[in-house]
Chains A and B, each alone.
Chain A
Amino acid sequence: MAPKKTPLADPVKEQPSECPAQAASAEPLAPGKTTTSRRDFLKAGGMLSLSSLMGAGALMAQSDEARAAIEWAEHFQGNYRLMTPKEKAEARARLEKRYSAEYGKKVTVDGTEAQPNVLMGYALNVRKCIGCRRCVKACVAENNQSRGKEAGQNIEWIQVLKMERGEFSKEKMNQGYPEGLGIQVGGNAYSPAGTVLEGQYFYEPAAVPEKDATYMPIACMQCEKPPCVKVCPVRTTYREPDGVVVIDYNWCIGCRMCMGACPYWARRFNLTTPVLPKEEMNPVTHYLGNRPRMRGVVEKCHWCLQRTRQGRYPACVEVCPVGARKFGNLLDPESEVSLILARKNVFRLKADLNTFPKFFYFYD
């Protein structure tokens, strides 16, 4: 039980198992194969009329013919979850080609499927967090979020909420409510004292932790019963077998129902084409993870699928200077996260909503 134990399977074992894993994961799709071919058939016929409409737009916008052809093909690809392994590989290859040309470097789009016997989990020590917000910055750098100057071009998946410590003093004893009616309710109790989920998340002090402040980092909770998945009209967001809620950015219609349904404000909308400088772009990507997004789609934290499915920690866990963030396999009783759940005082955020997050908070 070394603290730095690889969260999932160990890398040596994982490497050779990559191909069989993909083949194995294709098996559950096999019964649906007939559906897939019918879908293709219908698509070929039914899409002709649409193609004239959308094709014109796609071609006009692109000067580069090859890029146009790729985007053209992207327009008509199906939902990633229902693709055959071959279609998935083709979709990724297409993206690799386009991204490599766009960002001027070799970009890989990984498609590693969920590994068997893995249920990812996360635990955060609220006592340890010092509010340095390095996780926020690391997340943006790792996951290719938009980082423009204008409002609406900045997307961050993690918020470290800063909450004031309350100050109870003799002077405040009579500052109750309602005042002047002869009836006294409260007093000091109306002072802020870590009011749950009412805090600032943009702050840049000279030094952290600040006096009189506590911190509460939040991000996507990867719920076991995710309200966002239920409301999605096209099933573009879904739960993967290893527990992570992902989005097929190419299938999202941008209706934003999921954003309304999320009780943790974890989802972000690409109001415009994401601003992602070439030199800052992270070329190691996953199809359901950190690959560059497009205008008009929703995105959120996916626990760095491009890392965690390769046996690495998420960027936020790696960067945390105080070790407040822990990540691992909930099905492995010896994993760090499992041990925390077994031994520490653990709670989930907004547990009353029955979303069953796999993001746990704990304190020593």
Chain B
Amino acid sequence: MQKLMSFAPDYFYYILKGGMKFYAWMGFLAILSAIALYGFYLQNTEGLIVTGLTSQIHDGLYFANLVFLVGVAAGAVTIVFPAYVHHHKAMHEVTVLGEMLAISAVIMVTLFVLAHMGRPDRLWHMIPFIGIYNLPGSMLGWDVLVLTGYLLLNFVCGFYFLYVKYSGGTINRKFFMPLIYVSIVWALSIHTVTAFLISTMPARPMWFHSVMPIRFIVTAFAAGPCLIILIFQIIRKNTKLWIQDEAINLLSLIITWCLGIALFLTLSEVVVELYARTEHADGLYYLMFGLHGLTRLVPWFWGSLIAMIIAFAMFLTPGIRTNYKLLPIACVLAFGGIWVEKGMALVVPGFIPTPIGEVTEYYPTMIEVMMTIGLWAMGFFILTILLKGAIGILLGEVRFGGAAKSIDSASSGKTAAYESR
């Protein structure tokens, strides 16, 4: 009990102290978050009219980011799975970082849900017993269920591991391993259900096909690890934690093949839809070439496709894949490409044309863009905190009984840094 009582203060104390770089980064994120809060205030006083949404295109940037971030959350399983199922040693050392990423991504999804909703003040209507929870009918109900479950699983697994590491005990595998296995399957479920959310609507032919779930999962397992590799490289540069090359190499291998399958599925869809070119293909046609002279998304589609193809070629080349100077470029290309493809380029054309054939376009407003940036900033704020705490524990800088010592070492470390400057 005493250990548990001292865990929280030690953990937070470690997070709070940091260098100028750390505070500048957090301050920067805080400013962006504050702008998002102002946008949220506007949305809930003026209404969603401050966004570019209309009755024709009523899901936009927020919904797109929501869908994408569910993928990032699910992508964390690319660390957990090799670590616990294939006993990959390098991955095993850093599994908890993946869990921290999953926690932050699910929190970001929640933030985007709040931004998307017309009446976030009525969210309690979804709470069982005091509200109504439409199961099994509503796919959105299922999505909330699996996302909440995934958040809890990762929270329990991640912090149990950190706590054991902190207190110097051993992991109770009878309790821990089943949770890990459940969380692996659960990761697939969150993205499958998110795909079902939009692919179960015959009213929107562009989404109404069964390739959607697997396409979601492969793009998630490409985009998620891209972000993880970038984060790993930042960690290697800025902290004492050394993530082994094998971990990064395995992740790039996973990205390679998931990205390849994703491209294959995109091209399959293009062939199937455009060969027959029924009216049901209008959405895709709008995306690729424009419809009735409206072409706003065309450069985005081709841009993302080219980015993904270049990234795939780079990942496919062993010389580039293992070159840690070029690897981040490939990761950014793939991540950005998938963000466009699975976000705006998937959500918006679903509404073009509308079910009665009306072709309109979507123009996100400044407030919407600032909100989106701000909500990402909030997510990175949380991610930084979680990763910093986890790294501290992994390094052994935060451990039970080591608090006094760590303060000494921290202060001495600080003076050392000061002197060196």
Contact = CB atoms under 8 A, between A and B. Distances in A.
A267 B356 CA distance: 12
Interface in A217-272: 218, 227, 229-236, 251-257, 259-265, 267-272
B171 interface: no
Contact of B140 (A46, A255, A264, A267): A255
B203 interface: yes
B49 to A, nearest CB: 4
B401 interface: no
B357 A260 contact: no
B130 A234 contact: no
B141 A297 contact: no
A256 B49 contact: no
B47 to A, nearest CB: 4
A57 B121 contact: yes
Contacts of B120: 253
A262 B203 CA distance: 6
B132 A235 contact: yes
B60 to A, nearest CB: 11
A230 B358 CA distance: 25
A334 to B, nearest CB: 34
Interface string B87-129: 0000000000000000000000000000011111111111101
B51 to A, nearest CB: 8
A124 to B, nearest CB: 15
Given A42-B130, A227-B202, A253 B123 contact: yes
A134 interface: no
A12 interface: no
B139 interface: yes
A232 B134 contact: yes
Contacts of A252: 118-119, 122
B138 A47 contact: no
Contacts of B116: 255-256
A239 to B, nearest CB: 12
B373 interface: no
Contacts, number: 160
Contacts of B144: 233
Contact of A271 (B53, B129, B200, B351): B53
Interface residues of A, number: 61
Contacts of A297: 118-119
Contacts of A251: 122, 125, 132
Contact of B54 (A50, A151, A267): A151
Interface residues on B, range: 35 or more
Given A230-B137, A273-B47, A38 B129 contact: yes
A253 B122 contact: yes
Given A259-B58, A269-B58, A231 B139 contact: yes
B361 interface: no
- Chain A interface helix/strand/loop/mixed: loop
A152 interface: yes
A296 B47 contact: yes
B409 to A, nearest CB: 41
Interface string A274-309: 000000000000000000000111100000000000
Nearest to B118: A254
Contacts of B58: 256, 259-260, 269
Interface in B168-225: 197-198, 200-204
Contacts of B127: 46
A39 B123 contact: no
A295 B118 contact: yes
Interface in A164-204: 195, 197-199, 201
Contacts of A75: 121
Nearest to A294: B119
B46 to A, nearest CB: 6
A227 B130 contact: no
Nearest to A254: B118
A261 B201 contact: yes
B299 to A, nearest CB: 25
B226 to A, nearest CB: 29
B367 to A, nearest CB: 13
A50 B124 contact: yes
A125 interface: no
A318 B151 CA distance: 54
Contact of A233 (B47, B134, B204): B134
Nearest to B142: A233
Contacts of A259: 55, 58
B347 to A, nearest CB: 10
A297 B47 CA distance: 10
Contacts of A262: 203, 355
A353 interface: yes
Nearest to A260: B201
A163 to B, nearest CB: 10
Contacts of B123: 253
Given A253-B118, A256-B118, A39 B202 contact: no
Contact of B118 (A47, A197, A218, A296): A296
Nearest to B51: A271
A297 to B, nearest CB: 6
Nearest to B56: A265
Q: Pick from B44, B53, B122 the residue with the most CB of A within 10 Å.
A: B122
A197 B117 CA distance: 29
A274 to B, nearest CB: 10
B59 interface: yes
Contacts of A257: 138-140, 197
Given A152-B55, A233-B141, A233-B144, 8 more contacts: A42-B130, A46-B127, A47-B130, A253-B119, A260-B351, A271-B54, A296-B118, A353-B203
Q: Which 6 A-B pairs have the closest CB atoms?
A: A254-B118, A296-B118, A198-B357, A272-B47, A263-B203, A272-B49
25 contacts: A39-B129, A79-B131, A231-B200, A231-B201, A233-B138, A234-B131, A235-B134, A252-B122, A253-B119, A253-B122, A253-B123, A254-B122, A255-B117, A255-B118, A255-B140, A256-B118, A259-B58, A265-B354, A269-B55, A270-B118, A271-B47, A271-B49, A272-B47, A297-B119, A353-B203
Interface of A: 38-39, 42-43, 46-47, 50, 54, 57, 61, 75, 79, 82, 150-153, 155, 159, 161, 195, 197-199, 201, 218, 227, 229-236, 251-257, 259-265, 267-273, 295-298, 353
